[in-house]
């Protein structure tokens, strides 16, 4: 699977009952199989929907925490230069 920037994995249409079929390319790329538990979160300002495999939530939180720490360190280093 591609690491880093998000990539386009297909489209889906919401049915009358609110159901969506996950595109086959997305299922293959993200190893989503029948029975996989998925978690859904709203994007910033309700701009979208984030879907995460439940088993990968810990890894996502760790990644986001590391990114936040990097940003904090960058801010601290630039404010020290002032």
- For the chain, the domain total comes to 1
Average model confidence (pLDDT) across the chain: 88
User: Model confidence at 14, in pLDDT bands (50, 70, 90)?
Assistant: very high
What's the domain range around 53?
37-81
Is residue 14 in some structural domain?
Answer: no
Does 55 fall in a domain? yes
CA-CA distance, 69 to 10, in Å (whole number)? 32
Quick check: is 12 in a domain? no
- pLDDT over threshold 90, residue 80: no
The verdict on pTM exceeding 0.85 is: no
How many helices and strands, by DSSP H and E, does the chain display?
A: 2, 2
């Amino acid at each position: 699977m591609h690491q880093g920037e998000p990539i386009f994995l297909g489209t889906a249409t919401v049915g009358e009952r609110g159901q969506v079929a996950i595109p086959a390319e997305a299922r293959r790329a993200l190893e989503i199989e029948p029975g996989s538990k998925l978690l859904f979160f709203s994007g910033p300002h309700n701009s979208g929907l984030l879907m995460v495999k439940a088993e990968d939530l810990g890894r996502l939180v760790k990644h986001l925490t590391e990114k936040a720490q990097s940003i904090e360190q960058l801010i601290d280093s630039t404010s020290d230069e002032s």
